Structure 1
Amino acid sequence: MNAHVRLGLIGLISLTMPLAACAKQDSTSGSAAAIAPTIAQSSAPQIVTGLPDFTRLVEQVAPGVVNIDATIGGPDEDSAAGAQFDGSQGIDESQIPEIFRQIFGPGLQMPGMDGEGGRMRPRGKSMGSGFIISPDGYILTNNHVVDGSSTVQVKLSDGRSLKAKVVGTDQGYDVALLKIDARNLPSLRMGTANSLKPGQWVVALGSPFGLDHSVTAGVVSATGRTQAGMGGPNYVRFIQTDVAINPGNSGGPLLNTSGEVVGINSQIFSQSGGYMGISFAIPIDLAISAADQLKKTGKVSRAMLGVTMNPEISEAMASKLGLPDTNGVLVTSVQPGSGADKAGIKPMDVITEFNGEKVSDYSDLPSRVAPLPPGTKVSLTVIRDGKPRKVEVTLTALEQKAVGDAGGLQDETDSDGTPGASPAVPQRALGFSVQELPESQRQRLGLPEGGVVISSVSRALAAETGLAPGLVVLQVNRSEISSVADFNKAVAGIKKGDVLMLLVQSPRGVRQFVAVTVGGAG
């Protein structure tokens, strides 16, 4: 017998046996029977009255849902997608945004993306879904469904297959706007995701594995799911559902019980490439805003505060910063000339509220800021040295800047071939030592303000904090560091148990704060 079948039978037996035992007790035990009338006569209100019937909803909505086939690469090109997915391989991990790989590891999948469900796909094809948003032929889908495509075909519910023009795409929101040459098309009604609550019924339509106009239903599991982790954009507050979504569902609509679109089905969490109970949809409000911009300008503009953020606030950091808890966003740097800079925000400030709403962590803030138009004025609550204050900030336009590889910091020499760093300064009490940053490295890293480079770290401290040789220390508490002399001055007078807030920069240009407890892990 197949192992999965055996497990399934075992699970079924373990589930039904206790129920059978309860039934036997009711027929033989007077005490158990006496309890039953009390339960039946309870005056508690009936909360759930029955399962919903989605047939009328599907009849009305299905004509506005389309099947999308995108050819990846040119017609004569042996594309990378076609070469990789020969029917026996799984997802191409390089296609998944880094941000999601860090949260979910290899489990997060994008239904319809090249490689997922490769067994069901022709070579060099991307399969997905979409829906009509206006009678004159505008269609919404996911960016990853059409990304890199040379041709896109849209199959309508009436059987017609029409070539589509890609009006514009946006990777940050994973949205694409298509246009087909047709009129009087059945379009779907747009709803809003803002009023969704966990437990609400929702319905998905799409083409899983190419099986067009398939219907699945479930409930909203959670709202406001953000992309925690470092290394990528974090602009979407996803709707999490338990609606069954599979390869080919990407870009299809998520609907409420009124038949209104509340989201675009985009991603699933899976260890197998198939549905495992967790699906994510892009809120329709965000998607429509992006589509309007794509239609008008061909691109999506986002706002920014102009700060970079620490990945976490530890208990030690919260204590040092005078915070009541570890919630909020710790600012690591401020972009010159940005709204945050003009408002006086500084590194080591902690943002705890945005427009009157609590900010839980660093993954929460970008998704609140980015959808707003540049020029919007927002109110922040900022804690500095344990004291909260209100700050008004005018958001500026987000500037996408790739962080390049700045190279290693070890074994460097100046142009004359001599070592560029002065001898290491021992800091036994700290558990690490620093030395001067060579001029060649300073220039390569773009650090006019200077810094000192960590030359050695104790094993215990490295394990506890993540500090490593090669990291550049730019700030100790609120003191700027440009030399070893500055560093020595900043740590003078420290005693066991003190907490130092170090602002460090990696060779790749990523900055973050690290809390070091003096004598804690030396």
Structure 2
Amino acid sequence: MFRILLSLLTLMMAVPAQAETRVPQSQAEIGLGFAPVVKRAAPAVVNIYAKIVTEEQDNPFFSDPFFRDFFRGFGAPRPRERGSLGSGVILSDDGYVVSNYHVVGMASEIRVVTTDRREFGAQVVLGDEESDIAILRLEDADKLPSLSLRDSDLVEVGELVLAIGNPFGVGQTVSSGIVSGLARSGAATGNARGYFIQTDAPINPGNSGGALIDVNGDLIGINTSILSRSGGSNGIGFAIPANLVAEFLKQAKSGNEIFRRPWAGMAGQPMTADIAESLGLALPVGVVISELHPESPVSAAGLRVGDVITHVDGEEVNSPSEMKFRMSVSGIGGTSRLTHLRGGRAHEAKVDLIVAPDEPPSEETELDDRTVLPGLTVARLNPAVISRFGLPLMANGVIVLDPGPFGARAGLQPGDILAAINGEEILRPRDADKALTRPGRWVQVDLLRRGQRMSLRFRL
């Protein structure tokens, strides 16, 4: 009896005060596998069925990559409906769900199905194509199972993880693997850009928006993409870290319809061995500031071109996208602490986290019937517009927000930067209005599209 009591006392003393990640310690634990974790986490992962209606044009040249831009706008558009299949994760018991933007961002109808076969309608309350995150709100939902968000900065390479989702529409599926890498940037497909957790847990079409959890059942990331030549899993998958998801949820609950990310007002490049050697650095770490906007909060904090930013809020950064991620998870309104090198010495500066300023005024203007392109909507470039369209930091001039029916037929597209019309330089929206009021028999528009200069010429 004394031996039994002694054994129990020893076992109780060996149990940690708080749950910690560890490998199985006995044959009994190995036999259980991940079953207890899955039972706890799986009910918070949902299947998402979205209906997306797009307008496609009947034009024989539209599928040709060379002629597509020249003939865009010609031919009668026809609505076409397609389905989108994906997954989502319930973040709160009152019906907030996170998924990928590419799954639900453009949907006209969204249906969410839980593991117990309940169905809910849903609306996107906050979406961001760049981060590939969308926050949904389920209709008439309460007391739902949800997953806790883990601090993804504490995730380590080699941790055991589970991916839960609905691959190929076969039903909820669980796959296992490890964290293969951290701070992956520029590795995701589609429009998503940023900072990702890499895993070898099998992820397939339909897993998008599903959960990546640790062995305690906490959410560490949202599965978003894979690298594959065949379309199937090759063991290289990427997940959006939970810390960014937490900021999205916070903004969605605050009523934001557009994700507000801090604006650094700078351009930078990853450190290379050659640059490090030229700067007298022992190791190629950090981000070299290559350009600063006059209104940049980084510039206001005292940093200048040539400085090397090594840490944001104590976390190491080695690429512009990683720096952007670090500032984004801090949110608008506070400050970030930047550690930077200048002349071989380390310095610290506090940077205000602000949105891109709408100054000078964008002067958004829609041209009327006095012009040859009524309905064309243009705006003056400023930091807010540059940030919205992902343009070069120092871009200036006038941008096309909406080509209107006549502008579209002429070949104009949203995002085009107008350089000149009939040889007249366009610096303000009023310049475009004036040039298109009495242009003559021919109109020539010189513009910049995705970094390429081109001209459109049409007869009135």
The bucket for the TM-score relative to the shorter chain is 0.5 to 0.7
* Cα distance change of structure 1 residues 507 and 388 upon mapping to structure 2, 3 Å threshold: farther
Number of residue pairs the alignment of both structures matches: 330
Alignment TM-score, normalising by the size of structure 1: 0.56
Match of 2:451 in 1: 508
After TM superposition, list the pairs within 5 Å mapping 1:12-51 onto structure 2: 51=30
Question: Out of 33, 37, 43, which is 1:53 matched to?
Answer: 33
SS in 2 for 1:396: coil
2:230 to 251, 260, 272: 272
Any residues of structure 2 matched to 1:379-418 within 5 Å, and which? Answer: 379-398=337-356, 399=384, 400-402=387-389
1:254 CA drift (Å)? 1.4
Shift of 1:239: 1.6
The residue type equivalent to 2:335 in the other structure is: K
Contact 2:330-2:336 at 8 Å conserved across structures: no
User: Please, what TM-score do these two structures have when normalized by structure 2?
Assistant: 0.63
The alpha-carbon deviation at position 356 of structure 1 amounts to 3.7
Answering whether residue 174 of structure 2 is matched by residue 215 of structure 1, we say yes
1:168 maps to 2:121: no
* Backbone CA RMSD of aligned residues: 3.7
Shift of the alpha carbon at 1:245?
0.7
- 1:287 matched to 2:245? The reply is yes
Alpha-carbon distance in structure 1 between the residues aligned to 2:101 and 2:212: 17
Alpha-carbon separation, structure 2, partners of 1:261 and 1:327: 30
Q: What is the distance in 2 between the residues matched to 1:370 and 1:351?
A: 16
1:73 aligns with 2:16: no
Tell me the equivalent position of 1:227.
186
Residue 64 (1) aligns with residue 44 (2): yes
Cα distance in 1 for residues equivalent to 2:237 and 2:284: 29
Paired with 2:114 and 2:317, the residues of 1 have a C-alpha distance of 43
Unmatched segments (≥5 aa) in structure 2: 1-22, 69-79, 357-383, 397-421, 429-448, 453-460
> Counterpart amino acid of 1:60?
R
The answer (yes or no) to whether the contact 2:99–2:208 under 8 Å persists in 1 is yes
**Corresponding residue for 1:346?**
304
Aligned mates of 2:227, 2:106 — CA distance in 1: 24
Q: How far apart are 1:146 and its partner, in Å? A: 0.7
Query: 2:84 matched to which residue of 1?
Result: 126
SS at match of 1:73: strand
Displacement after TM superposition at 1:65 (Å) = 2.0
What is the letter of the counterpart of residue 53 of structure 1?
A: G
Residues 477-492 of structure 1: matches in 2 within 5 Å? none
Q: Note closer, same or farther for the CA distance 1:228–1:252 as it changes in structure 2 (3 Å cut).
A: closer
Residue 372, structure 1, aligned to residue 330, structure 2: yes
Tell me the alpha carbon deviations over residues 487-522 of structure 1, each in whole angstroms, 9 at most, x when there is no partner.
xxxxxxxxxxxxxxxxxxx9939xxxxxxxxxxxxx
Tell me whether 1:249 sits opposite 2:204 in the alignment: no
1:150 aligns with 2:137: no
Question: Does residue 359 of structure 1 match 2:302?
Answer: no
Of the two, which has the highest radius of gyration? 1
State the distance in 1 between where 2:345 and 2:174 align.
53
After TM superposition, give the deviation of residue 63 of structure 1 in Å.
Answer: 2.5
Distance in structure 1 (CA, Å) of the matches to 2:166 and 2:191: 29
Residue of structure 1 in register with 2:372 after alignment: none
> Could you list the per-position Cα deviations for residues 266-325 of structure 1 after superposition, in whole angstroms to 9, with x for gaps in the alignment?
11111111100111111222112202212322222111332111355351x334333333
Unaligned runs of 5+ in 1: 1-45, 86-93, 95-121, 408-439, 447-505, 510-522
Q: Once structures 1 and 2 are overlaid, which stretch shifts more, 346-355 or 207-216? A: 346-355
Q: Is residue 125–residue 257 contact of structure 2 (8 Å, CA) maintained in 1?
A: yes
Call closer, same or farther: CA 1:272–1:142 in 2, change over 3 Å: same
Partner Cα distance (1:183, 1:47) in 2:
37
SS at match of 2:245: helix
CA 1:132–1:233 in structure 2 vs 1: closer, same or farther (change >3 Å)? closer
> 1:261 maps to what in 2?
219
Q: Does the CA contact (< 8 Å) of 1:173 and 1:287 recur in 2?
A: no
Name the CA distance, whole Å, in 1 between partners of 2:57 and 2:148: 36
1:100 corresponding residue in structure 2: none
Q: Report how far residue 205 of structure 1 moved.
A: 1.5
Q: Is the 8 A contact 2:222 2:241 kept in 1?
A: yes
Aligned mates of 2:450, 2:197 — CA distance in 1: 36
Question: 3-state DSSP class of the match of 1:239?
Answer: strand
Deviation of the 1:78 alpha carbon: 6.2
- Find 1:324's aligned residue among 282, 285, 301: 282
- Structure 1 residues 123 and 217, CA gap change in structure 2 (3 angstroms): farther
The one-letter amino acid of 2:177's match is G
CA distance in structure 2 between the partners assigned to 1:366 and 1:318 by the alignment: 22
1:357-386 C-alpha deviation (Å, 9 max, x unpaired): 443344432222222223433333333344
- Identical aligned pairs, as a percentage? 34
